[in-house]
Amino acid sequence: MNHATDMLGSDPITLFLCGDVMTGRGIDQILPHPSNPRLHEPYVQSALGYVELAEAVNGPLTRPVSFSYIWGDALNVFERVRPDVKVVNLETAVTRSDDYWRAKDIHYRMHPDNVPCLTAAGIDCCVLANNHVLDWGYAGLEETLETLRKANLKTAGVGRTSEEAAAPAVLNVSEKGRVIVFAFGSVTSGVPWDWAAATKRPGVALLRDYSEKTVEAIAARVRAIKRSGDIVVASIHWGSNWGYQISEPERRFAHRLIDTAAIDLVHGHSSHHPRGIEVYRDRPIIYGCGDFLNDYEGIGGYEEYRPQLALMYFVTMNPHTGLLISLEMIATRVQRFRVNLASNGEAQWLGGVLSREGRPFGTRVQWQADGRLVLQWQQPGGQRAEHASIAI
């Protein structure tokens, strides 16, 4: 059977996914409604310091920018591809709160009146189970949830109780099916233990471990909601910021989510650069998407990872079988606090990294002359999968 031909007859669903979208701190300062810039970091006491660092390397920024400015060239890509849903890891609190979490050194905050920067890109779901959502305390978390709700943005991974934090975002795709997004934060990414949501305490849907008990708890929640035509996503903030190594416990956990919990797509983030991609039982595991938008311009270190480069992931799946049809990527570069298309050379470099890191998983990436990076993977039995192309 030709999987690609069979799946294309089933009204495929295309998801846009990316890694960390960090609209707080320096980026918040160039938007129309900047927060109080005061920070409580060891070396930088004002968020305007991050604007100055960026301007020192790439020239002055005219402020304020429009809400859509930060998405730059991504907006044209969205217009061409027209994904059914867009899911991002929003790595900032959206609040006026000044009650910063004193046990942390770094605190991200975006002013609530700047939330149109998310709706300007048509974002559907903000994953919040990460190590910055509670940077400005419980009041900051409450305001974040309320602000995003008023903007008609679905959220996953945090809540006012453990039950609410564990509940998924449900995204209806007209005449195709649904995308169900569960989100979890792992202590391996720096989420503090005491941020875990409890029966009477707001917080994060925290993964305390990768045990079979944890998998079974997720499986029970998936069984309670999943129906025919659903693509179920596990969006996980896990692992270190730097390095390509994927731990064996992470890989086993991802496999068990697919085997036992009926997860169709694992969306990993926390790493500041893209990591390898696996296709397990014809379901994609993106171990680390890499940062998509941040205020790190002008900050040195880790140049070998080229962290200014990022990827837009477009994952097309069959909602009736949960199988992957295609995974295509567009390479981008953050410059002037904006998403810019990467050069051909930069895209080819990223493709080479993904092919190298995907080799143990039987995946590789091909660069196309039109700029796309196309994932290829091995079917059981060693045959390389056919796939359908999307219009990028």
Does some domain include residue 300? Answer: yes
Does some domain include residue 7? Answer: yes
Rg (CA), the chain: 20
179-190 b/e with 16+ CB inside 10 Å = b?
bbbbbbbbbbbb
Does some domain include residue 30? Answer: yes
Tens digits of residue pLDDT in 320-359: 999 999 999 999 999 999 999 999 999 999 999 999 999 9
CATH number of 206's domain: 3.60.21.10
Quote the pLDDT of residue 313.
Answer: 98
In this prediction, residue 4 has a pLDDT band, given cuts at 50, 70 and 90, of: very low
Quote the pLDDT of residue 106.
Answer: 97
Does some domain include residue 75? Answer: yes
Does some domain include residue 329? Answer: yes
Does some domain include residue 391? Answer: no
SS3 state of residue 322: coil
Does some domain include residue 76? Answer: yes
Per the structure, the complete domain to which residue 350 belongs is given by: 3-377
Does some domain include residue 386? Answer: no
Question: Is the C-alpha dihedral spanning 249, 255, 259, 265 positive or negative?
Answer: positive
| Number of domains forming the structure of the chain | 1
Mean pLDDT (the chain, rounded): 94
Of the candidates 365, 300, 302, the residue with the CA atom closest to the CA atom of residue 331: 365
Whether residue 6 is predicted with pLDDT greater than 60 in this model: the reply is: no
Whether residue 50 is predicted with pLDDT greater than 80 in this model: the reply is: yes
Percent of the chain with pLDDT over 90: 94
Locate 244 and state its tokens: 């390509």
Give this prediction's pTM: 0.95
